Amino acid sequence: MPDPTIACLTIGSSDSSGGAGVQGDIKAFASIGCFAATVVVGVTAQNTTGVRARYGLPVDLVRAQLSAVLDDLPIRGIKVGTAWSPELVTWLGSALADLSVPIVVDPVLVTAAGAYLSDVEQIRSALVESLFPLATVVTPNRQEAELLVGAPPHALDRRELAAALVDLGAPAAVVTADARDSGDWFFDGTTHELLAGAYHDTNCEHGAGCAHSALATGLLAGGMPLPEAMRQARQLASDGVRDGLGHLGSGVHPVDVLGLPRLVRTPTRS
Ligand SMILES: Nc1ncnc2c1ncn2[C@@H]1O[C@H](COP(=O)(O)OP(=O)(O)O)[C@@H](O)[C@H]1O
Ligand SMILES: Cc1ncc(COP(=O)(O)OP(=O)(O)O)c(N)n1
């Protein structure tokens, strides 16, 4: 019988607090039955209150991880998250160019706690030139979309931002929700759609963007058409915010896409 488990790869950075980054991606992949491989491009010292330090790994080490994974595992979908240096982004563009699997690019520039994860000016053109053309979809939040298209804060609505991202070369774009605009805005070059949904006022959003893009990757890897994958990814990420772990950390608490309280095992008496 064929194994239904779909192997996906996340290329991103470690979040020491476990909520976002590759740790968040592994949980999001697992929540929809995907096996998660990881290529780590950097390490952050981070918790729910912010990022204290970050360190990017040398391209050689990233290259070695990527070939180890691709030489051996049947990867069916790839997510690219934080990628800090223009050199790395440009190299990734050439390394991923010939792969015929869905690629979701989450151009992570700012965390929910407000920390910048990349030097925006340096990374912007590398992302647009090297990764946008390879992407199945790019998934920035409003602030990241504004930085990528060079628009001042709130000068454009999300329909205009999504169109500008596609004009820059992304085949499709989703600009995610914020407290002002609930639901995500989707545009694939032809059709605009508001992927409607409630906005949960839980302050449990640490890792929501990572979960969303990893979920989209796993759903696309399983063959789901793009608009439906983005609808379901929004719903599942939003449920993760609703069910977030509000007792963990003193800043922006982590999402929970696995339903961890359901999995707790209580000690049995013999
Ligand atoms: N408070 C919230 N309530 C419901 N859904 C949310 C909330 N915050 C984020 N989401 C959903 O989670 C996903 C990731 O969005 P977002 O948090 O904006 O990403 P990022 O972490 O990149 O800023 C999107 O589908 C978005 O609609
Ligand atoms: C290492 C690392 N990668 C990505 C992020 C951004 O995560 P995201 O899911 O967008 O959620 P917030 O952290 O913004 O809440 C990160 N924080 N760390």
User: Considering every ligand atom, which ligand is closest to the CA of 194?
Assistant: 1
Indicate whether 198 belongs to any domain: yes
pLDDT, position 180: 85
Residues in the chain, how many? 270
Taking residues 94-123, what's their average pLDDT? 83
pLDDT, position 108: 81
Contact yes or no for 141/158 (Cβ under 8 A): no
For 60, counting Cβ atoms within 10 Å of its Cβ (0-12 exposed, 13-18 middle, 19+ buried), the class is: exposed
Assign 220 a pLDDT band (cuts: 50, 70, 90): very high
pLDDT, position 148: 94
131 CA to centre of ligand 1 in angstroms: 22
Q: Does the pTM exceed 0.90? A: yes
Indicate whether 51 belongs to any domain: yes
Q: Is the CB of 240 under 6 A from ligand 2?
A: no
User: What HEC string does the chain produce?
Assistant: CCCCCEEEEEEEEEECCCCCHHHHHHHHHHHCCEEEEEEEEEEEEEECCEEEEEEECCHHHHHHHHHHHHCCCCEEEEEECCCCCHHHHHHHHHHHCCCCCCEEECCCCECCCCCECCCHHHHHHHHHHHHHHHCCEECCCHHHHHHHHCCCCCCCCHHHHHHHHHHCCCCCEEECCCCCCCCEEEECCCCEEEECCCCCCCCCCECHHHHHHHHHHHHHHCCCCHHHHHHHHHHHHHHHHHCCCCCCCCCCCECCCCCHHHHCCCCCCC
User: Considering every ligand atom, which ligand is closest to the CA of 235?
Assistant: 1
pLDDT, position 113: 63
Whether residue 190 has pLDDT greater than 60: yes
Whether residue 1 has pLDDT greater than 60: no
Indicate whether 97 belongs to any domain: yes
30 CA to centre of ligand 1 in angstroms: 19
pLDDT, position 242: 98
104: nearest Cα among 127, 79, 129, 67: 79
C-alpha–C-alpha distance, residues 241 and 110, integer Å: 18
Taking residues 60-83, what's their average pLDDT? 96
Assign 233 a pLDDT band (cuts: 50, 70, 90): very high
Residue 184 CA: which ligand 1 atom is closest? 27
Domain CATH number, residue 110: 3.40.1190.20
123 CA to centre of ligand 1 in angstroms: 23
Assign 115 a pLDDT band (cuts: 50, 70, 90): low
Indicate whether 120 belongs to any domain: yes
Indicate whether 248 belongs to any domain: no
pLDDT, position 238: 98
Indicate whether 264 belongs to any domain: no
User: Considering every ligand atom, which ligand is closest to the CA of 144?
Assistant: 1
Residue 20 CA: which ligand 1 atom is closest? 21
Taking residues 181-200, what's their average pLDDT? 96
Q: Which domain holds residue 219?
A: 6-242
Indicate whether 104 belongs to any domain: yes
Assign 112 a pLDDT band (cuts: 50, 70, 90): low
pLDDT, position 267: 86
Q: Is the CB of 209 under 6 A from ligand 2?
A: yes
Assign 120 a pLDDT band (cuts: 50, 70, 90): confident
Q: Complex ipTM above 0.85?
A: yes
Indicate whether 70 belongs to any domain: yes
**How many separate domains does the chain show?**
1
